[in-house]
Structure 1
Amino acid sequence: MHIGPDAGRLPIDSLLPELRATLAERNSAVLVAAPGAGKTTRVPLALLHEPWLAGRRILMLEPRRLAARAAARFMAASLGEQAGGTVGYRVRMDTKVGPSTRIEVITEGVLTRMLQQDPSLDGVGLVIFDEFHERHLNGDLGLALCLQTQSVFREELRLLVMSATLEAEPVARLLGGAPLLVSEGRAYPVETYYAPKPISGRLEDAVVRCTIEAMRSHDGNALVFLPGIGEIRRAEHLLLAARAGSGGLGADIMILPLYGALTAEAQDRAVSASAGGERKIVLATSIAESSVTVRGVRIVVDGGQSRVPRFSPRTGMARLETVPVSAASADQRRGRAGREAPGVCYRLWTEGEHRQLKPQSDPELLGADLAPLALELAIWGINDPSELAWLTQPPAAAYAQALVLLRELNALDAESRPTAHGQAMAELGMHPRLAHMVLEAKPLGLGALACELAALLGDRDPLRSTRSIDMRLRLDALHGRAAGDAADPAAIKRLAAEAREWMRAAGIASSAAASRADDACGLLLALAYPDRIAQRRGDGRFLLRGGRGAAVQELQPLSTAAYLAAAELEDSGTDSRILLAAPISLEAVERYFADQIQDEKEVRWDRQAEAVRSRRRLRLGALILKESQLADPDPALVAEALLGGIAEQGLELLPWSKQARQLRDRMNLMHAHNPEWPDVSDEALIASLPEWLGPYVGGMRSRNDLTRLSMAAIMESLLSWQERQRLEEEVPTHLTVPSGSRIPLDYGDPTAPVLAVRLQELFGLRETPRIAGGKLPVTIHMLSPAHRPVQVTQDLASFWQHAYFDVKKDLKGRYPKHYWPDNPLEAPATNRAKPRPSN
């Protein structure tokens, strides 16, 4: 086999015979090869003519478009061909394959589409998962689907998982105990330097200082790792300033960014050797960790951070989070300096911090928005992810949230089966939100505008320097109308090309005019993000449809919009921060979301007003779009709300008279001695309000209306005629004492009813009165002539015998004109100062 430009032996070459023999006998294998071993470009070519392949194609998955194109071009050059001949590639927005293509290097999403179109992968003999250690979501999904294809349709289909730093045993087990092959890489020594102390201040400032010093101290090109585009742009600015001034950089040093959103040409320029031999500094995200060799690199400066997606099931939103790299990623980055010659690596963290790094990066599947995965599984015919074999199971909460969103987008029906609309969404290859937006926009004549928004939303914000959250400004930039915030022309060109590609995929004429119509932009965003329709609450604060708060951080025109559709939110604190949005009118919300708007007639108790309030509301989730007074509410609902208010606030809302309270207390006493009697405790009455009070509250709406109730009559109605008679007999309202007075009983404590009576009226009464059929003695509160308590007893006989004489002595001193006999049991009772003389 002709290898082409790099025909020298590579470490993987010695392992190729064993790999051929393994795949001749087994349908799966795992290959672990250190960076620089040559697995990406050697293995597919080495297996191309194996008998078991029988002329079928090899698919090799690369996690990044840059790596896919580079690998295909290198292998094609090895055969003396251009990409698109024996070796081709398929990536989003760029395909080079032909009728003679036998090796297709594809990105992971392309494999998913191929599997959905043909689950048996007819014509494919081998699927290679390269750089699987990066654990991208689509890679995990592709492997799970391929394993089922192998199990159900094609036992002879070969699967080969290749990685540089993967813990291989779990993958081998997942593949049914697949053989594990290991190849050592060819790496030159790399001297590693750690920061003497933790970095303070902005990361890019420290990175630039280190890079300048490294370029002055060492030969070769520098590969500098930063977490994202913002840091890359700031570092680029600082380096350009250093090169133009006296900052220690030579004027001939090239400074090139490298990240996924760049055009293919810009990416190729960053990774290829300099045509004139100039030195260069490549400022890269984690895209340069593996697969891609940046030519001439002898220096690596590693900022030690990466940006990863994190999805919150609590809010239903994803955000990018900056995290420390794993130890495995740090080793991958370090290895970039030793691919072609000895090199150096500067790590901007201490050795102590290095020991705290996680061994491996978390799989993307654990922190990503799972809506695309859930849609693909539904179309595959899977209701429960556990039906497939996964290296890591999708998180249940995030998956459930994804199903909710897909049903909201009409991609799934109530049983989570894919709808025709969902099938069409998946075929577009966009995120489900954006696909739904484009498909819904077509019949509205807004398809071209939707495709432009899809390109903008699927990429980095071209106007990240502006503070305005207005999405319409981004559309203006796309059409060259940006004022004061001119975007990078290369980025705009790339986004425009992507928009045209989406138009082609969606069957929309590229000549269709894309209007910036104010309400159209907001409407389309609302179609893509129906859960992020937001209603103004004041002071730049909004309420999202799902009930969560959101805010515009700085005062700007959209701060006062009545309604917004938010395309990008930062999930932080109590209120999310709105980063991108457009206004939408209430009329548009009512028209295009009519099937989701609830017409509520609410009849409820208003605790503050202590009255029933009747309202009609048009509600979209947590948003109350319109509210008005309900003129003629259902009387049954009014009564229910009134009773609910009484249950909520307590029985004290009712007009209890003294008579009613006494009756209720007497009934409680009877119930305490006989459970068959009605229970009129607070708990029992509240629990049965509709039964005993409901018939009396017709037409009433407020506490004031309740004053018309006769609670004594209502309580009495709970008793039969016989029970009323027995109540009067056993638990009387009054007792007649020896003086002839009828004294009321206090039943506030049903276990100890009280008779409060002046002492002089009890003369001659030898025993304590008893009620409830003689079961319960009353508690006598003896009063002075001035009605002040002087003694409490339930044993009157004992009182006369012992305590009376002390009480008499005290009372006689205070009330000398009153009658205080020496023998109270023989003395006449009186309700006067002295008894009347007998005739």
Structure 2
Amino acid sequence: MHIELPIQEVIPELRQLFRDQDTGVLIAEPGAGKTTVVPLALLEESWVAGRKIIMLEPRRLAARSAASRLAATLGEKAGQTVGYRVRMDTRVSQATRIEVVTEGVLTRMLQQDQGLEDTAMIIFDEFHERHLHGDLGLALALESRAMLRPDLKLLVMSATLDPVPVCALLGEGTKSIHCPGRTFPVETRYVPRPTAMPLEQFTAQTVTKALAEQEGDMLVFLPGAREIHLTERELLNGSLPGHVKVHSLYGSMPVEQQDEAIRPAAEGSRKVVLSTSIAESSLTLAGVKIVVDAGLSRASAFSPRTGMSRLVTLPVSKASADQRRGRAGRIAPGVCYRLWSEEVQGGLPEAARPEITSADLAPLALELAVWGVQSPAELQWLDTPPDAAYGQAQALLRQLGGLDDAGRITPFGRRMNTLGVHPRLASMLLRAAELGLASYASMLAALLQEPAGLRSSGSAGAGTDLRLRVEALLTADSSGMPQAAAAVADGAAVRRMLQESRQLRSALGPAADPVRPDEDSCGLLLSFAYPDRIGQRREDGRYLLSSGRGVRLAATESLSRAAYLVAAEADDQGADARILLAAPLQEQTLLQAGQHLLRDEVQVAWDSNTRSVRAHKRLRIGALVIKESSIAQPPEDQVLEALLSGIRMEGLDCLPWTKTSRQLADRLRFLHLHLPEWPDLIEDDLTEELAEHLTPYLTGMRSAADLKRLSMQDVLLGGLSWTQRQQLDDEAPTHIQVPSGSRIPVDYSRPEDPALAVRLQEMFGQQETPRIAGGRVPLTIHLLSPAQRPVQVTRDLANFWRETYFDVKKDLKGRYPKHYWPDNPLEAVATNRAKPRGK
């Protein structure tokens, strides 16, 4: 029976929109039928003119399912009028006019033909998921329209996306069309999980309860494959009715099992599908009236600081939770059990963050370089890739050989991009082929791309040593599978990895491998993929990676004694990340095969322990010092710079100051303070001017002991001209002659307030305060008693004689009766004795 879908109501408007313009946005709520109706509805429009329509689906399962449903509408099978292209599976023919593709496939198609001359339209379905390759595909398509194909039509479709920014991105005049969905009411029940109860146990209990309370099939959302398998075990060990069948659904499952999970339940039976977010949109699971949602999703979080990614489990967004709930209302009223509270619901984010803001951007940077773009700013994005993550991605690609120093694609980088794997693995595969290890590298690459192969329960005992897992795969391949596969994963995962390995091996060319792998091959090949994760053992048994990151291995791990290893995966937690997968590497192998990573470095630096300049020649890979030797005669200019650096570190007190040179330094500071045109020779630290003055005197010196030979007075005066020396003596004199005839030293230790400490009796007859700096700066006079103790401090000598002297005189005359204390100090004879001669 034909059922009219809500999307049919807006098809005339959609057709007219694309007759009038080339871009548009369709917001069609869940259940509207956009995925299965729109491509066929537009296929016979005149502007298609016999060309193809490409529809982008974010997930492989959704792409295959959509193509099959579209083909079924025409009474055909996928591969005829409607076909699909996904990784490791393609069904198209000469008759294919609608191609449903995954995001990475669209990127490949655009790279191979930037104009897509045989394509009339690209449809971006479920764009609200905002996967990295979806954003990239749209950016490249917009660039293709701008530069080559102004007639290329673009349609963005979504259930939940805000159309305003998308319309703005697609260009002026872009319109959006809204279509309501066909959903039935869904009752939402909040069933918070007790904190102490494991997720899988509580989910299984809720599933059992819901099956007893409700009718129809059930869709259960869990964060990942591990939780799915544990929940399935709980259910099968429980008391499920015999007519209830449990199915798993996640991205890395075999195609046959995925198809079985989404197929309608047999008559008289009920189905429970345990799924990741793969079933959140695009898929139609017939018969589902119940949803149980754990409220969690798993994503890869990338750290530009460490260059590592790690899987994180996060609460879903409100938009995702609503999408999941809606799966229960497609065919009839339904019920959604949420395993969290209403309070938690209120705190959920409105929508998930776009992947481009938190992902590893190395694949994106390589794609843009192949496209001919060095900066993301040259293209149009809904969210521009973050600068830090993009810069880190370009740095990695330079290490891998994919980019040159200017950020342009290299011939090697173009070859990397043809393999369709992460740039790390592409670099490894190509370099392995050059060494005759292509088959081994293909196995290793397939394993590294397989999450189940990394963390399967069957791999217990393999530890972190990646060699054991590769050997298990090789054994499975040569023996036709079975028991050896248990060390890697289940049989389905092994079949998938072997298929991937064969495809990668085929992409590297038909030549036979002339080299037989040995126990060092795995670490060697990993160093090509992870040049930033080559680890060197430290004294405490931990490892320092070439990126500068610290990592650790349990002491019980056999690899913990290796001098060098390569960490393929680490958890990126804490100061020292825990290594999850690695392989050892011999130093000699590293030196022979890692020539492109090795850097010779001459380091001439101040050693604070020996207080001297030490020179070393180092062979480095990033932060790792592979070899080091002393240099007897380092370059003199580097010695000088290191010595000056040492003076900066030690402070100016390491220089051989005398009383005379310190006073000279203080006089120069005084002049610079009051006469800014004077050089800034002396501050708390080594100034550029002082360093310049020191330089001629440091020849042949390499230590703090050598510095003792310096004459700081010669250093300071050596940089002054004859005129400056004259000005120094005139405006910052070392001594001032006072009325008694004595020459009293000026104290410049506080350059903003120079002082003169003199006995009061030697100043009789001096009415005005002495001044320096051409009369601009009065001295602070410290008037002393006969015992050289201060009795008064003043910068106004005339006022002292007039207002204060007589009080001071009374005190001093009582304590020093034999000394001369005249009634009129301005007419008295100054003396440096107890009394003037003749008194």
Instruction: Give secondary structure in 1 for the equivalent of 2:336.
Output: strand
Could you tell me which residue of structure 2 aligns to residue 238 of structure 1?
234
Instruction: Give secondary structure in 2 for the equivalent of 1:99.
Output: coil
Change in Cα spacing, 1:737 to 1:486, as seen in structure 2 (3 Å) is closer
Q: Offset of 1:674 from its aligned partner?
A: 7.4
Q: State the alpha-carbon separation in 1 of the partners of residues 731 and 124 from structure 2.
A: 91
Q: Which amino acid aligns with 1:94?
A: D
Change in Cα spacing, 1:346 to 1:715, as seen in structure 2 (3 Å) is closer
Aligned pairs for 1:211-222 (under 5 A) are: 211-222=207-218
Q: State the alpha-carbon separation in 2 of the partners of residues 713 and 73 from structure 1.
A: 91
Q: Which amino acid aligns with 1:263?
A: P
Could you tell me which residue of structure 2 aligns to residue 109 of structure 1?
104
CA-to-aligned-CA distance 1:738-784 (integer Å, 9 cap, x gap) = 99988766554565444556x8x959988799686996668465355
Comparing 634-643 with 442-451, which one deviates more in the overlay?
Answer: 634-643
Q: Which amino acid aligns with 1:810?
A: R
Could you tell me which residue of structure 2 aligns to residue 444 of structure 1?
435
8 Å CA contact 1:752–1:779 kept in 2: the answer is: no
8 Å CA contact 2:370–2:414 kept in 1: the answer is: yes
Comparing 674-683 with 421-430, which one deviates more in the overlay?
Answer: 674-683
Q: Is structure 2 residue 497 aligned with structure 1 residue 495?
A: yes
Q: 1:93 aligns with which of 81, 88, 108?
A: 88
Q: Offset of 1:103 from its aligned partner?
A: 2.6
Comparing 482-491 with 124-133, which one deviates more in the overlay?
Answer: 482-491
Could you tell me which residue of structure 1 aligns to residue 308 of structure 2?
317
Comparing 340-349 with 432-441, which one deviates more in the overlay?
Answer: 340-349
Q: State the alpha-carbon separation in 2 of the partners of residues 724 and 179 from structure 1.
A: 80
Could you tell me which residue of structure 1 aligns to residue 199 of structure 2?
203
* Matched pairs, number: 818
Comparing 524-533 with 768-777, which one deviates more in the overlay?
Answer: 768-777
Comparing 270-279 with 578-587, which one deviates more in the overlay?
Answer: 270-279
Q: State the alpha-carbon separation in 2 of the partners of residues 225 and 252 from structure 1.
A: 21
Could you tell me which residue of structure 2 aligns to residue 808 of structure 1?
813
CA-to-aligned-CA distance 1:313-354 (integer Å, 9 cap, x gap) = 333333333222222222222222233343321111223332
Aligned pairs for 1:164-175 (under 5 A) are: 164-175=159-170
Q: State the alpha-carbon separation in 1 of the partners of residues 737 and 177 from structure 2.
A: 106
Q: Which amino acid aligns with 2:303?
A: S
Change in Cα spacing, 1:276 to 1:478, as seen in structure 2 (3 Å) is farther
Unaligned ranges ≥5, structure 2: 477-483
Q: Is structure 2 residue 191 aligned with structure 1 residue 186?
A: no
Instruction: Give secondary structure in 2 for the equivalent of 1:105.
Output: strand
Change in Cα spacing, 1:233 to 1:514, as seen in structure 2 (3 Å) is farther
Q: Offset of 1:213 from its aligned partner?
A: 1.0
Could you tell me which residue of structure 1 aligns to residue 254 of structure 2?
263
Q: Offset of 1:491 from its aligned partner?
A: 1.0
8 Å CA contact 1:257–1:284 kept in 2: the answer is: yes
Q: State the alpha-carbon separation in 2 of the partners of residues 28 and 721 from structure 1.
A: 79
Instruction: Give secondary structure in 2 for the equivalent of 1:306.
Output: strand
Could you tell me which residue of structure 2 aligns to residue 505 of structure 1?
507
Instruction: Give secondary structure in 2 for the equivalent of 1:309.
Output: strand
Q: State the alpha-carbon separation in 2 of the partners of residues 40 and 218 from structure 1.
A: 29
Q: Which amino acid aligns with 2:244?
A: I
Instruction: Give secondary structure in 2 for the equivalent of 1:614.
Output: strand
CA-to-aligned-CA distance 1:179-215 (integer Å, 9 cap, x gap) = 5444443334433211267765432232111111112
CA-to-aligned-CA distance 1:334-389 (integer Å, 9 cap, x gap) = 22223334332111122333233333333222222222222222222334434434
Q: State the alpha-carbon separation in 1 of the partners of residues 366 and 729 from structure 2.
A: 75
Q: State the alpha-carbon separation in 1 of the partners of residues 674 and 13 from structure 2.
A: 93
Q: Percent identity?
A: 51
Q: Offset of 1:303 from its aligned partner?
A: 0.6
Change in Cα spacing, 1:695 to 1:76, as seen in structure 2 (3 Å) is closer
8 Å CA contact 2:534–2:545 kept in 1: the answer is: yes
Aligned pairs for 1:135-534 (under 5 A) are: 135-176=130-171, 177-195=173-191, 201-242=197-238, 248-275=239-266, 277-464=268-455, 465=457, 466=460, 468-480=463-475, 485=487, 487-508=489-510, 512=513, 517-534=518-535
Aligned pairs for 1:540-559 (under 5 A) are: 540-552=541-553, 555-559=556-560
Q: Which amino acid aligns with 1:407?
A: R
Q: Which amino acid aligns with 2:340?
A: W
Instruction: Give secondary structure in 1 for the equivalent of 2:388.
Output: helix
Q: State the alpha-carbon separation in 2 of the partners of residues 368 and 591 from structure 1.
A: 34
Instruction: Give secondary structure in 1 for the equivalent of 2:53.
Output: strand
Instruction: Give secondary structure in 2 for the equivalent of 1:428.
Output: coil
Q: Offset of 1:224 from its aligned partner?
A: 0.7
8 Å CA contact 2:680–2:687 kept in 1: the answer is: no
Q: Is structure 2 residue 33 aligned with structure 1 residue 38?
A: yes
Q: State the alpha-carbon separation in 1 of the partners of residues 355 and 664 from structure 2.
A: 71
Aligned pairs for 1:58-73 (under 5 A) are: 58-73=53-68
Aligned pairs for 1:749-768 (under 5 A) are: 749=750, 751-755=753-757
Q: Which amino acid aligns with 2:39?
A: P
Could you tell me which residue of structure 1 aligns to residue 479 of structure 2?
none
Q: State the alpha-carbon separation in 2 of the partners of residues 412 and 656 from structure 1.
A: 54
CA-to-aligned-CA distance 1:519-566 (integer Å, 9 cap, x gap) = 221222221122222333344533332333333367522334332322
RMSD: 3.8
Q: State the alpha-carbon separation in 1 of the partners of residues 136 and 774 from structure 2.
A: 83
Q: State the alpha-carbon separation in 2 of the partners of residues 36 and 676 from structure 1.
A: 80
Aligned pairs for 1:11-50 (under 5 A) are: 11-50=6-45
Comparing 667-676 with 568-577, which one deviates more in the overlay?
Answer: 667-676
Comparing 445-454 with 776-785, which one deviates more in the overlay?
Answer: 776-785
Q: Which amino acid aligns with 1:636?
A: D
Instruction: Give secondary structure in 1 for the equivalent of 2:600.
Output: strand
Q: TM-score, normalised by structure 1?
A: 0.86
Could you tell me which residue of structure 2 aligns to residue 75 of structure 1?
70
Q: State the alpha-carbon separation in 1 of the partners of residues 724 and 380 from structure 2.
A: 73
Unaligned ranges ≥5, structure 1: 1-5, 243-247, 813-817
CA-to-aligned-CA distance 1:124-180 (integer Å, 9 cap, x gap) = 333332222322222222233333434444444443333333333443444444454
Q: Offset of 1:263 from its aligned partner?
A: 0.9
Q: Is structure 2 residue 656 aligned with structure 1 residue 651?
A: no
Comparing 797-806 with 588-597, which one deviates more in the overlay?
Answer: 797-806
Which is higher, the Rg of structure 1 or of structure 2?
1
Q: State the alpha-carbon separation in 2 of the partners of residues 629 and 699 from structure 1.
A: 18
Q: Which amino acid aligns with 1:324?
A: P
Could you tell me which residue of structure 1 aligns to residue 125 of structure 2?
130
Q: State the alpha-carbon separation in 2 of the partners of residues 662 and 156 from structure 1.
A: 82
CA-to-aligned-CA distance 1:673-718 (integer Å, 9 cap, x gap) = 8778777543697432344322222222222222223334545556
Q: State the alpha-carbon separation in 1 of the partners of residues 41 and 742 from structure 2.
A: 119
Instruction: Give secondary structure in 2 for the equivalent of 1:594.
Output: coil
Instruction: Give secondary structure in 1 for the equivalent of 2:404.
Output: coil
Q: Which amino acid aligns with 1:149?
A: S
Q: State the alpha-carbon separation in 2 of the partners of residues 723 and 105 from structure 1.
A: 83
Instruction: Give secondary structure in 1 for the equivalent of 2:405.
Output: coil
8 Å CA contact 2:218–2:291 kept in 1: the answer is: yes
Instruction: Give secondary structure in 2 for the equivalent of 1:693.
Output: helix
CA-to-aligned-CA distance 1:203-248 (integer Å, 9 cap, x gap) = 2232111111112222332211001122112212222222xxxxx3
